[in-house]
């Protein structure tokens, strides 16, 4: 009876997982086909791509917002690198800090005291709030400074405290904001020397997301979410959102304000553009780079926040676009399908254990091993074919962004990404439950490293 029960559960679980894997595989394949069609069209019907033009006098200043809570270890290096790298004549960096974070305040003040382009802003509320709450403090400070100093702002760019900025990114913003409400540059995580698998799986995901998926979203006319870094919003657009929200353009109750902001601007009729501009003819794109979490626990915490804000709370908060736009609805469903995909993935892993237990019990009992229905076997072969295609496509995008070596590593890193996602889903459910019970969202961030600190620990002290 035990063997019969295990066999029956294994068969049903296999069928359930196989059907939903097929649905997900076809969903991904459709994105690949749309991207392939667009690539073919551009390849054989080339069009002139917009190239950043020089910024004319009077076009306005680019202001960079950096929200910094507990970032004393990296913020000083990030600011100095940005000041040395930016190739733009008129910009200012506003760094938001908290009164109960003296170490970060001191690190920012040390740079601001040497360069007037860095503006230290200390909020009134002790941290951590949400990141959006800190960004709203920066917005109010900018509005005050504009009135007091009489300068005009063209756009507001967003960066994190661990980002490596690109020298040409402000020039791209200045040019593209003339015909776009918002501009998003590609984000390319740096391969971490101490974390080939955990940090490395971010390289795989972003290489595909920012070179294919966002391109398809834009081609379909779907809302384009922002990454929170490497993006810029035109000043008048952000000001319009602030007027609608009582002076606070960033939603302080959101865990993923960047994602929601891009969709909000699209829903308002604003043009959100993905700017894939080569830094030189035939060269890599102008992109933002950074180290992503290098430990399993840190990756789980970060992915849990994303999952909570986008797939769980985001479903409640952003809903579906009011107008009939199948492409936008499809992309939003893809954003939220993790709520369905992760349970299916967990069941799929459980089936491996069930079939292993079944085989062992049949061996001990000296009975014929259980067999699958031929139609289920055909379904499994179709899924294996789609999985092989998925791995091949991802490896191709990783190869384009990082080279052959990282492309090969992208295949086993899929298992790491799945494991991170499963543990993150469990944590996200807890976070979402607390939100439903009325808990205020909090900025749950991880410790960051700046790439120049490769031989140091997280606080810049010499490593033993």
Q: Which of 294, 316, 345 is the last residue of a domain?
A: 294
Residue 358 domain flag: yes
In a domain, 135, yes or no: yes
Query: Tens digit of pLDDT for each residue in 363-417?
Result: 888 888 888 888 989 999 999 999 999 999 999 999 999 999 999 999 999 999 9
In a domain, 277, yes or no: yes
Once rounded to an integer, what is the mean pLDDT over residues 93-116? 96
Alpha helices in 86-197 (DSSP H): 102-112, 131-149, 169-176
Question: pLDDT category, 452, cuts 50, 70, 90?
Answer: low
Q: How many residues does the chain have?
A: 464
Helices (H), 212-256: 214-220, 235-244
Provide the β-strand partners of residue 278: 285
Sign of CA dihedral 240, 246, 249, 253: negative
Backbone angles phi, psi at 386, to 5 degrees: -65, -35
Residue 154 has pLDDT above 80, yes or no: yes
306: which 2 tokens? 């994303």
Q: Are 432 and 381 in a shared domain? A: yes
Arithmetic mean of pLDDT, 425-432: 87
Range with lowest mean pLDDT among 176-185, 260-269, 390-399: 260-269
- Map tokens 């459910």 to a residue: 429
- Pair (115, 259) in one structural domain: yes
Same domain, 346 and 429: yes
What pLDDT shows up at residue 56? 43
The whole-angstrom separation of Cα 124 and Cα 78 is: 24
Nearest Cα residue to 254 out of 440, 64, 446, 429? 440
Residue 459: pLDDT above 70? Answer: no
Among 294, 324, 349, the domain boundary falls at 294
Say if residue 161 is in the same domain as residue 287. Answer: yes
Residue 32 counted as domain residue:
yes
CB atoms within 10 A of CB 43: 8
At 402 the pLDDT is 95
284 with 147, same domain?
Answer: yes
Neighbours of 16 (CB within 10 A): 15
Contact, 177 vs 191, CB < 8 A?
Answer: no
Query: Do residues 149 and 70 both lie within one domain?
Result: yes
Determine the pLDDT at residue 127.
86
- Residue at a domain's end among 267, 294, 321: 294
pLDDT band at residue 121, thresholds of 50, 70 and 90? very high
Instruction: Dump pLDDT digits (tens) for 185-216.
Output: 999 999 998 899 999 999 999 999 999 999 99
Establish if 42 belongs to a structural domain: no
Q: Is residue 197 part of a domain?
A: no
The H or E element spanning position 63 is strand 61-67
Mean pLDDT on 88-111:
96
Residue 282 and residue 237 share a domain? yes
Domain CATH number, residue 98: 3.90.550.10
Q: Rounded mean pLDDT of 30-35? A: 96
SS3 320: coil
* pLDDT category of residue 59 using cuts at 50, 70 and 90: low
Work out the average pLDDT over 51-79. Answer: 79
pLDDT of residue 443: 67
Would you state the pLDDT for residue 336?
A: 83
Mean pLDDT of the chain: 88
Q: What is the mean pLDDT of residues 10-14?
A: 90
Grade residue 1 by pLDDT with cuts at 50, 70 and 90: confident
Question: Which H or E element spans position 233?
Answer: strand 231-234
Q: Are residues 172 and 273 in the same domain?
A: yes
- Please state the rounded mean pLDDT for residues 53-79: 81
46 pLDDT band, cuts 50/70/90, is low
What is the number of structural domains in the chain? 2
For residues 95 and 26, state if they share a domain: no
Query: Do 88 and 155 belong together in one domain?
Result: yes
119 versus 57: the higher-pLDDT residue is 119
Residues 6+ apart with CB under 8 A from 273: 176, 179, 180, 182, 183, 184, 218, 224
pLDDT value of position 58: 44
Looking at the fold, whether 340 and 411 belong to one and the same domain comes out as: yes
Q: What is the C-alpha separation between 393 and 357, in angstroms, rounded?
A: 34
In 3D, which of 264, 259, 249, 250 has the Cα closest to residue 308?
259
Give the structural domain span for 169.
Answer: 61-185+230-294
Q: Is the pLDDT of residue 433 over 50?
A: yes
For the four alpha carbons of 264, 265, 270 and 276, in that order, the dihedral sign comes to negative
DSSP 15-42: HHHHHHHHHHHHHHHHHHHHHHHHHHHH
Question: What percentage of residues in the chain have a pLDDT greater than 70?
Answer: 92
Q: Report the share of the chain in percent with pLDDT over 90.
A: 60
Q: What is the pLDDT of residues 293-349, one digit of tens each?
A: 999 999 999 999 888 888 787 777 777 765 678 888 899 888 888 777 878 888 988
Strand 182-184 to 231-234 pairing = antiparallel
Q: How confident is the model at residue 458 (pLDDT cuts 50, 70, 90)?
A: very low
**Cβ-contact 29, 59 below 8 angstroms:** no
> Does the CA dihedral 238-240-245-248 come out positive or negative?
positive
Q: Do residues 243 and 290 share a domain?
A: yes
């Amino acid at each position: 009876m035990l063997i019969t029960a295990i066999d029956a559960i294994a068969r049903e679980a296999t069928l359930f997982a196989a059907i939903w894997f097929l649905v997900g595989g076809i969903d991904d394949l459709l994105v690949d086909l749309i991207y392939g069609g667009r690539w073919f069209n551009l390849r054989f019907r080339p069009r002139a791509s917009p190239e950043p033009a020089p910024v004319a006098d009077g076009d306005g200043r680019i202001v960079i917002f950096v929200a910094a809570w507990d970032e004393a270890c990296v913020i000083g290096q990030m600011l100095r690198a940005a000041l040395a790298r930016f190739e733009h004549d008129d910009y200012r960096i506003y760094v938001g800090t908290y009164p109960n974070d003296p170490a970060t305040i001191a690190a920012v003040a040390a740079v601001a005291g040497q360069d007037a382009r860095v503006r230290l802003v200390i909020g009134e509320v002790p941290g951590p709030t949400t990141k959006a709450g800190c960004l709203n403090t920066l917005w109010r400070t900018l509005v005050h400074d504009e009135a007091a100093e009489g300068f005009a702002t063209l756009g507001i760019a967003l960066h994190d405290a661990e980002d490596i900025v690109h020298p040409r990114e402000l020039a791209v913003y200045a040019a593209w904001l003339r015909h776009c409400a918002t501009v998003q540059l590609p984000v390319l995580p740096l391969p971490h020397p101490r974390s080939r698998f955990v940090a490395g799986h971010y390289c795989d995901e972003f290489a595909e997301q920012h070179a294919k998926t966002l391109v398809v979203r834009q081609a379909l006319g779907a809302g384009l979410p922002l990454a929170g870094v490497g993006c810029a919003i035109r000043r008048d657009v952000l000001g319009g959102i602030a007027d609608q929200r009582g002076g606070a353009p960033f939603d302080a109750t959101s865990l993923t304000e960047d994602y929601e902001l891009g969709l909000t601007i699209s829903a308002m009729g604003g043009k959100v553009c993905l700017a894939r501009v080569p830094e030189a003819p035939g060269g890599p794109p102008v992109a933002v780079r950074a180290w992503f979490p290098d430990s399993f626990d840190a990756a789980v915490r970060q992915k849990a926040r994303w999952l909570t804000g986008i797939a769980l709370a985001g479903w409640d908060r952003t809903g579906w676009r009011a107008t009939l736009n199948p492409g936008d609805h499809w992309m939003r469903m893809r954003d939220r399908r993790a709520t369905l995909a992760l349970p299916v993935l967990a069941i799929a892993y459980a089936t491996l254990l069930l079939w292993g237990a079944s085989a062992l019990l049949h061996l001990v009992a000296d009975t014929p091993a259980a067999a699958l229905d031929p139609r289920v076997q055909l379904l499994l072969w179709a899924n294996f074919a789609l999985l092989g295609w998925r791995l091949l496509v991802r490896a191709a995008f990783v190869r384009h962004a990082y080279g052959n070596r990282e492309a090969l590593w992208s295949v086993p890193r899929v298992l790491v990404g799945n494991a991170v996602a499963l543990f993150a889903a469990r944590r996200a459910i807890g976070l979402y439950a607390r939100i439903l019970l009325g808990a205020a969202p909090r900025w749950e961030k991880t410790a960051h490293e700046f790439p120049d600190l490769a031989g140091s620990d997280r606080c810049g002290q010499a490593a033993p």
